[in-house]
Chain A
Amino acid sequence: MNQAPINVPPAWHRIGKHEVAPEASHDEIARFNFLSNLNKYLATMVSPGNRIAFDKRVRPRFRREKGRDFENRREVREAMLRDPHFQTWSALRRAAMEMRQQAGRSLVLRQAKQLAEKAERLNAGKDTLQLNPNLTIPPYIAKVDNHLMPGSYHTELFEGDVSAAANYDMGLFVTTGGALGRFNDGGGKAIAQWLLSHHPEFKPKHILDIGCGLGHNVLPIAQAYPDAEVIAIDVGAPMLRYGHARAQAMGITNVKFIQMDGQYTGFPDESFDWIQTTMFLHETSGKSIYGIMKEIYRMLKPSGLTMHIEQPQYTPEMDLYEQFIRDWDAFYNNEPFWSKMHDIDTLELMTQAGFKAENFFQIGVRAVNDNEDHTKPRAPEPEDHGRAAVWNVFGAWKK
């Protein structure tokens, strides 16, 4: 067993509040607190047992039966699926993800109408929110309820509905144990800080964020570059309605939220200095990811920059067990493109789109976490694979 002192996640009431956020009752907060702690316990106390089971019995048995070692992570997965510890951890982790959706949805749906009205009050008459009811939802969103979110990002239960976004906004803090910060914006903050400190000469005037969701990661970018005109696009109308209202409520007004498909935006060539995606590409698909990257190249100005925040790519050097455990969400948390996406050679992805290999780069960033210190981990802890607030960023300059 992991003998390190237990790190407790911040209680949910520490989440960043804003005017469009749902009201949460005492019991709803307690329900989230239970789930944050359940996630933390599974990640730090139960998940390490998978590695032990792999080393002590699953791998030796495979070698004994086959006379060879594992050749790929699929073989590891098939063998681990028969292991009782992996079964228990997986069944509990799946249950925790379903319970997190239930808790978020029961909180949000009981006040869905009031939430829609709150958003509408902040959105009415603003030209910084542009919806397109005729947009075709791309199949990678229409066919998949990503991370077990019933109805995905785009489903509206009634006209003006924002419940999908409110559920996402309230629940991410639970899944990540607050590791992304009070407003779940630790990724956006990290990338903005990196760019300001490493490229102070770069002064983007036109910034595009693709797959912005409810805009939680684009707002810190807009704050870091207050003179820039920022455009945030997504295919989900509930996300954009809620995200725009949330940005207005937080006093961030230099972001335009537009309902668009990132692969077919219609923006003129060379429109943007910086194009960003954050935890978006793994929710696309095999051909569309290449199409989106070509569209990004087309829209970037000469000397423009594009960056993409994702979990680490699988490389031939990465241990097969690590590849396998990082892949859990692909198959059991409804992230079906996750596995293939992390196999893609990102350099090839960028050069196919038109970028030159010498202008490609990769960096590591860690989420900026503005939670109070006493709520942050005091002792090192095992990584919550697929959820850790530490990312691989790949990108390129258009030169």
Chain B
Amino acid sequence: MEINDIVLANSKAKGKRPYFFDDAAVERVLNITMAVAGELAVVHERLDTIERLLEAKGTLSRADIEAYRPDPKSEEERQRWHAAYIARILRIVQQEMEAIRDENPENNRTMDEVADELEQI
């Protein structure tokens, strides 16, 4: 019943992953960069919400923010956030490992190969 939602969220789909650039390393870095770009957008949207709410409802002292130290429960939540964050950014590395680990060639075929089979069944 217990599942590892962080790893499962990143699962690789069946099929050999296409790489469009001549060097797969470029595409790996592109994927990591795009994930970071996405997370920066998420933070931006959250800060934007906070700024708009502060503007509408009142003020918050910057000293309060500087002085803040999480209690143990908050600390655990924040560290878990970092774990999920890093797994999300490095998704492609996980999926390439899954491709190497999965010894069933059925799950690492190109869609050209699968299409040939599907045409026959």
Seen from chain A, the residues whose Cβ lies within 8 Å of a Cβ on chain B are 26-27, 30-31, 33-35, 38, 81, 86-88, 90-92, 94-96, 98-99, 101-102, 105-106, 109-110, 112-113, 139-140, 143-145, 148-151, 157-158, 285-288, 330-332, 334-337, 339-340
- How many angstroms between the C-alpha atoms of A339 and B41 in the bound complex? 35
B9, B19, B37 interface centre (most CB from chain A within 10 Å): B9
Question: Which secondary structure characterizes the binding site on chain B?
Answer: helix
Per the bound structure, the CA–CA distance linking A287 and B112 in Å amounts to: 17
Q: Could you tell me the distance between the alpha carbons of A336 and B116 in the complex, rounded to whole angstroms?
A: 9
Chain B residue with the shortest CB-CB distance to A332:
B18
Give the Cβ gap from B109 to chain A, nearest Cβ, in Å.
Answer: 9
Which residues on the B side are within 8 Å of A87 (C-beta)?
Answer: 20-21
- The 9 A-B residue pairs with the shortest CB-CB distance, nearest first, are A106-B9, A150-B11, A145-B13, A109-B5, A30-B45, A285-B118, A286-B119, A87-B20, A34-B41
Q: For residue B112, which residues in chain A have a CB less than 8 angstroms away from its CB?
A: 331, 336
8 pairs, CB–CB < 8 Å, chain A vs chain B: A27-B46, A30-B46, A33-B45, A81-B20, A102-B9, A287-B121, A334-B14, A339-B115
Residues of B within 8 A of A157 (CB): 3, 8
Residues of chain B touching chain A, judged by Cβ–Cβ distance below 8 Å, are: 1, 3, 5-6, 8-15, 17-21, 27, 30-31, 34-35, 37-39, 41-42, 45-46, 49, 84, 88, 91-92, 95, 106, 110-112, 114-115, 117-121
Asked whether B114 lies within 8 Å of A90 as measured between CB atoms, the reply is no
Minimum Cβ distance to chain A for residue B25 (Å):
12
Min CB distance B90 to A, Å, is 11
Residue of A nearest to B48 (CB): A30
Taking a contact as CB atoms under 8 Å apart, the answer to whether B88 and A102 are in contact is: yes
A363 to B110, CA, bound (A): 34
Q: Which A residues touch B3, using CB under 8 A?
A: 109, 112, 157-158
Of chain A, the residue at the smallest CB distance from B34 is: A95
Among residues of A, the one whose C-beta sits closest to the C-beta of B15 is A334
In the complex, are the beta carbons of A106 and B15 less than 8 A apart?
no
Q: Which residues of B contact A30 (CB under 8 A)?
A: 41-42, 45-46
Least CB distance from B9 to A in Å reads 4
* A151–B119 CB distance below 8 A: no
The reply to whether B121 and A139 contact each other, CB–CB distance below 8 Å, is yes
Chain B residues with CB under 8 A of A145: 13-15
Asked, given contacts A98-B31, A286-B121, whether A91 binds B114 with beta carbons under 8 Å apart, the answer is: no
Contact B27 A336 (CB under 8 A): no
Task: Kindly identify which residue among A38, A90, A98 contacts B91, using a CB–CB cutoff of 8 Å.
Answer: A98
Q: Which residues of B contact A102 (CB under 8 A)?
A: 9-10, 88, 91
Query: CA–CA, A145 to B8, complex, Å?
Result: 14
